[in-house]
Chain A
Amino acid sequence: MSQDSSNLSAADLRTSAGRRAWSAGARWVFALAAVATVLVSALIIWTVASGAWTFISQVPFDSLTEIGWFPRRGLFDLSTLLVNSVQISVIAMLVAVPSGFGAAIYLSEYAHPRVRKVMKPALELLASVPSVVLGVFAISFITPSILTSFFHEINFFNKLAAGIAVGLLVIPLIASISEDALRAVPLALREASSGLGARKVTTSIRVVLPAAMSGLMAAVIVGFSRAIGETMVVTIASGGGDTSLFNLALTESGGTFTSAMAALGLGTDQVAGNNLAFQSLYFLGALLFVITLVLNMLGDLIVRRLRNKY
């Protein structure tokens, strides 16, 4: 505490107790918010797990392999919903992957920076189109104006239109993830390829694409997970009612995990209570949660491995 000419002591420089307490308190407020986000996950898991357990412990197991999904008659054939979910998601991928990859390669390898600067936000904008609108689009345009000219006997509600509309919805997601993957490929690889005299198309296909392959795989996996979880498009364009008979025809209607949940949710007033139909809602939610979680973690793992590579 030596006196100097300005009469300052170390005590004068010490932060006041009030300011320190305020600062220390803030830390706990922020940490509490972080705890809240974990709590959301915990509540989701607890909700779906306890509801699903109630369902599993009460349902007769032979009602899980029946002629179709008729929850209010006690028929809970899971294969019906699984097959429809996978069919619709695969159609969605057939629409979204070529277009999404193409757009990604164009934006990352070919497009003028100025074009890229406009198109990237445009893709973000596309990602925000509400899914109900695409559902309406499916029944008011895709089925009547496009599909009826290829198929003579097509149901007004059908899996094909639902799949195409889900595909349109997933394009921006796939394009965005794959564009990131392509841009993560170091410029040196492209320069080396060009230096050996390769054309741009050769560089893109033989050098850049293989180098970004794991990222592109991740885009497909995450896109598939998004398609499996998409609800409104399927409910409007294919799910129709709350029941569906097992069928493999793409031109027929069919409910998925998600549309079956929405249909049960619409009738929560009627089916509320302890009956099995209401509990099957949670069981489907649990299945959906596990499927998408596994797919997303897989995609995440691949993306992070890619990030470490370069």
Chain B
Amino acid sequence: MTILTTPAGIATGAADALRKRPGADVAGSAFKWLLIGATVFATGFLAVLLAVMIVDGWDVLSGNLWYFLTHGFSQRSAGEAGVWQGIIGSLQVALVTGVFAVPTGVATAIYLVEYAQGNRFARIVELNIRNLAGVPSIVYGLLGLAVFAQTLRGFSGGTTAIAGGMTLAAMVLPIVVITSVEALKAVPDSLREAAYGVGATKWEVLSRQVLPAALSTILTGTVLALARALGEAAPLILVGAATGFMSFGDANMFETFTGPYTALPVLIFNFARQPGADWGVNAAAASVIILVLVLAVNGLAIYLRNRFERQW
């Protein structure tokens, strides 16, 4: 190196000094692989979970899946027990949940976004929704037991699918509100302004422009909320799903809503509680069924969201 250097020479020297040496960054790549490991662990356990359940439940899944799906619970022996009541009960509960949670949740979101941005009542409602979202599911079971099953006995008929569905509706309400608020906020104001500009009333702007634009996202949130309800057992145990088993007999469709009921996750819990390996097979097989159901519903919702997500 000479003392008198050209600017180009200085630059080359500096670049040499700063150049990364290949293979020197051991800590860097170790860290990266550690992160990849954590990510694989975080997402990969689902595969392990499914595999274990399929292996454990294989006797039922391969041999008499149809019998398992179409027969009711039996206290006598594991081989005679099926999940039919659980599937029907879960569908009924989910239906009631949807009927109560979706209109209330979407309407609340509309109020928060379109009518009350930032006023004191809206702030109370928002805080309330955030707190409700964190309440443990079993506490909703107490609400269901004391209010929906006992106080409102005249309407729900006691510990029935209606009471269970209302309980889960209260539980998923925050999810419906939060996803609907996001969907409505994503609709650009230019759309609203254009509608007002041609003389539409607030209701017309909402019903003809904003809601249709936000509909697919709201639907996705609703489906995700119902999927959450589909897998939930804890609140239903308090609202009588554990002890009730439907007897179809000559009951018509409406009567099954107001009689004893059970749900698929509660049924899995019942299988898991019985001593003996053959009940374990049932629990695993029913777990596979509920996993496939819940993952399919969720996957569909996520796919639809990505498919119909609109960039404004």
Contacts and interface: CB of A to CB of B under 8 A. Distances in A.
Interface of A: 13, 15, 19-20, 22-23, 26-27, 29-34, 36-38, 40-41, 43-44, 47-48, 51, 98-103, 105-107, 110-111, 119, 121-126, 128-137, 139-141, 168, 171-172, 175, 197, 199-201, 204-205, 222, 225-226, 228-232, 235-236, 258, 261-262, 265-266, 268-269, 281-282, 285, 288-289, 292-293, 295-297, 300
Interface string B131-145: 111111111111101
B218 interface: no
Nearest 5 pairs between A and B by C-beta?
A102-B38, A229-B136, A130-B231, A33-B107, A296-B134
Nearest to A258: B138
23 contacts: A15-B199, A19-B201, A32-B107, A37-B177, A44-B170, A110-B32, A122-B43, A131-B231, A132-B265, A136-B272, A137-B287, A200-B32, A201-B31, A229-B137, A231-B233, A232-B233, A262-B238, A268-B238, A268-B243, A288-B139, A289-B136, A292-B134, A300-B130
A140 B52 contact: yes
Contacts of A41: 128, 131-132
B28 A201 contact: yes
Contact of A130 (B28, B107, B290): B290
Contacts of B74: none
B242 A266 contact: yes
Contacts of B203: 19, 22-23, 26
A103 B134 CA distance: 23
Contacts of B37: 102
A62 to B, nearest CB: 26
A44 B167 CA distance: 11
Main secondary structure of the interface of A (DSSP, over half): helix
A132 B282 CA distance: 13
B39 A19 contact: no
Given A102-B37, A296-B130, 17 more contacts: A23-B204, A30-B107, A30-B110, A40-B132, A48-B142, A101-B38, A119-B43, A128-B294, A132-B231, A136-B53, A141-B52, A141-B56, A262-B237, A265-B138, A293-B131, A296-B131, A296-B134
Nearest to A31: B111
A183 B36 CA distance: 18
A132 B135 contact: no
A105 B125 CA distance: 34
A49 to B, nearest CB: 11
Contacts of B122: 34
Contact of A47 (B131, B147, B227, B299): B147
Interface in B88-147: 103-105, 107-108, 110-112, 114-116, 121-122, 124-125, 128-143, 145-147
Contacts of B298: 124-125, 128
Given A105-B35, A201-B28, A225-B134, A26 B139 contact: no
B138 A231 contact: yes
Contact of A266 (B134, B170, B206, B243): B243
A130 B232 contact: yes
B269 interface: yes
Given A44-B143, A133-B268, A23 B201 contact: yes
B291 interface: yes
A303 to B, nearest CB: 10
Contacts of B294: 128-130
Contacts of A229: 135-139
Contacts of B38: 98-103, 106
Contacts of B199: 13, 15
